[in-house]
């Protein structure tokens, strides 16, 4: 059963890595897979949310920080070290690596985990923009397969881990919001005025 699933994993990997290969996608996926290319957008957004975004922006910034910290550290420094799965570019023949190979472990994809947690949290904060966040997450995950650095199962597992951690962080922050939000003034209970006793004649 394991060998059968692995054969499917390899078949899908080769379909994306080899059959899709062209110069335009090489450039596109090499660009989109590197978060450094997006710092000029990400950093001003975080600064805006913290300074001018009100409570919502500050809570979101905190959520993203915690979510990305957890997903990156757990994927890269815990699970990868336990599983020790080699990347497809290091064990399969003929793998195309337009962005260069990597010698670190493969399972799960930390890029996918980070996308899973951050895009989930952004979707909860800006629900009308959810389709855009889903597309961004999918493209980054797809780039890892196309560039020969991850099996599809690495990416899917990364998404699952990231979504789980994103949900946990969102749930925890919602609890903190309730705890630290200004308390509503208690309503004063009105009592009916007492009837005055008439004087006896």
Cβ atoms 68, 125 nearer than 8 A: no
3-state SS string for 172-184: HHHHHHHHHCCCC
Please count the other Cβ atoms lying within 10 Å of the Cβ belonging to residue 28: 14
pLDDT at 188 (0 to 100): 53
Domain spanning 2-180, CATH class? mainly alpha
pLDDT in tens, 82-91: 999 999 999 9
pLDDT at 123 (0 to 100): 97
Query: Where are the chain's structural domains?
Result: 2-180
pLDDT in tens, 42-68: 999 999 999 999 999 999 999 999 999
CA distance 123 to 64: 11
Cβ atoms 154, 161 nearer than 8 A: no
pLDDT in tens, 4-33: 899 999 999 999 999 999 999 999 999 999
CA distance 103 to 100: 10
* 107 or 183, higher pLDDT: 107
């Amino acid at each position: 059963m394991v060998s059968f699933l692995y054969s499917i994993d390899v078949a899908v990997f080769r379909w994306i890595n080899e059959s899709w290969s062209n110069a335009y996608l090489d450039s596109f996926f090499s660009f989109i897979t590197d978060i450094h290319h997006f710092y000029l957008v990400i950093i001003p957004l975080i600064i805006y949310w913290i300074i001018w975004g009100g409570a919502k922006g500050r809570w979101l910034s905190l959520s993203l920080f915690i979510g990305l910290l957890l997903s990156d550290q757990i994927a890269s420094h815990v699970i990868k070290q336990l599983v020790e799965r080699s990347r497809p570019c290091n064990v399969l023949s003929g793998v195309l690596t337009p962005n260069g190979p990597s010698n670190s472990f493969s399972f799960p994809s930390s890029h996918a985990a980070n996308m899973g947690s951050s895009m989930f949290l952004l979707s909860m904060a800006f629900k009308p923009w959810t389709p855009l966040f889903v597309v961004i997450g999918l493209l980054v995950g797809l780039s890892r397969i196309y560039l020969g650095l991850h099996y599809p199962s690495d990416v899917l597992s990364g998404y699952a881990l990231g979504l789980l951690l994103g949900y946990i962080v969102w749930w925890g922050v919602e609890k903190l919001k309730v705890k630290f939000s200004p308390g509503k003034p208690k309503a004063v209970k009105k009592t009916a005025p007492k009837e005055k006793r008439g004087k006896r004649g």
